[in-house]
Structure 1
Amino acid sequence: MPTVHSAVLAAEDSAVEGIDLLIPAWYDIIWSSVVLVIIAIVFYKYILPKFQAVLDERTEKIEGGLAQAETAQAEAAAALEEYHQQLQEARTEAAKIREEARAEGSAIVAELRTKAQDDATRILETAHRQVEAERQQASISLRADVGSLATELASKIVGESLEDHARQSRVVDRFLADLESENTAGVGSNGQEG
Structure 2
Amino acid sequence: MGILIPGLAPTVVCVVTFAVVFVSMAKVLLPRVNKVLDERKDAIEGQVERAEQLTMEAGEVLAGYREELAEARHESAHLRQEALEQGTRLIAEIRTEGLREREVMITEAQARFEADRVIAETELRGDVVSLAIELAGRVLGEPIDSAVTSEIVDRFFSDLDARS
Same fold at TM > 0.5: yes
Mapped contact 1:151–1:171 kept (Cα < 8 A) = no
2:91 alignment partner, one of 109, 130, 133? 109
Structure 2: 5+ residue runs without aligned partners? 1-7
SS at match of 1:131: helix
How far did 1:114 drift? 0.9
Which of 121, 124, 130 pairs up with 1:148?
Answer: 130
4+ aligned runs moved over 6 Å, structure 1: none
Aligned match of 1:84 in 44, 52, 66?
Answer: 66
Q: Could you tell me which residue of structure 2 aligns to residue 125 of structure 1?
A: 107
Structure 1 residue aligned with 2:145, among 159, 162, 165?
A: 162
* Structure 1: runs of 5 or more not aligned: 1-23, 185-194
Match of 1:178 among 154, 159, 162: 159
CA distance in 2, matches of 1:152, 1:34: 162
Say which SS state the counterpart of residue 37 (structure 2) adopts: helix
Letter in 2 for 1:63: E
For residue 61 of structure 1, report the CA deviation from its aligned partner. Answer: 2.2
Name the CA shift for 1:102/1:113 in 2 (closer, same or farther; >3 Å).
same
Question: How far apart are 1:160 and its partner, in Å?
Answer: 5.2
The normalised TM-score by structure 2 is: 0.75
Task: Give the aligned length.
Answer: 155
